[in-house]
Amino acid sequence: MTDAAMTSSKTQAIQRSLRWWLAGVVLAVSGTLAVSAWAQPVPGGHGHAHGMDHGMMFGGSPEHVARMVDHMLDGLNASDAQRSQVKQIAQAAAADLKAQHDATRALHERSMQIFTAPTVDAAAAESVRQQLLTQHDAASRRILQAMLDISRVLTPEQRAKIGERMKLRHEAMKERMQRMEREHPKQ
């Protein structure tokens, strides 16, 4: 093999590696953006101890959303009217978020097309990134609006009790993370 052929072969290998690295970076960044907005429900509805995880609350089928609302309102002395109103708010938000999720999925597919092309179009990649940010912002606004609507249905005491549950859940999650870090230290 000639020096020119070896150099060309190395250059092509480096370009391939760089392309895959860029695709991985975009996938990681877009995945990070998507996770907070599109958290999927835990299969079977387990793993969310008496809290209000917004991603789970507004994700899944109408039946799943209704179960999450019931779970959230258990122990709060919520009336049937409150339960019904909160379910309607949550199910409407879930439907809106599903449509946004579908649009985001299409953007992720477009992102992969850009980064697996023979030549990466930086302007197109930036455009997709901006669109993903817009989608994330829209989902965040929709969740906030649903939470504000729900807050108007619940009493201050009920909201305080939910807040206390969320605080306990956050502390338990923090403890689990610290325990995992101690058990599996980074090297």
pLDDT of residue 45: 37
| Better-predicted residue by pLDDT, 36 or 72 | 72
pLDDT of residue 59: 81
3-class DSSP assignment, residue 3: helix
Residue 158 pLDDT > 50 = yes
Residue 5 pLDDT > 50 = yes
Q: Where are the beta strands (DSSP E) in 7-160?
A: none
The average pLDDT across 46-57 equals 45
- For the chain, the straight-line distance linking the first and the last C-alpha, in angstroms and rounded, comes to 41
The average pLDDT across 47-68 equals 67
Of 142, 152, 154, 135, the closest CA to residue 30 belongs to 135
The average pLDDT across 160-174 equals 92
Per-chain mean pLDDT for the chain: 78
Residue 39 pLDDT > 90 = no
Report if pTM > 0.75.
Answer: no
Residue 37 pLDDT > 90 = no
What share of the chain in percent tops pLDDT 90?
53
Cβ neighbours for 149, distance < 8 A, ≥ 6 positions apart: 89
Domain boundaries, the chain: 3-183
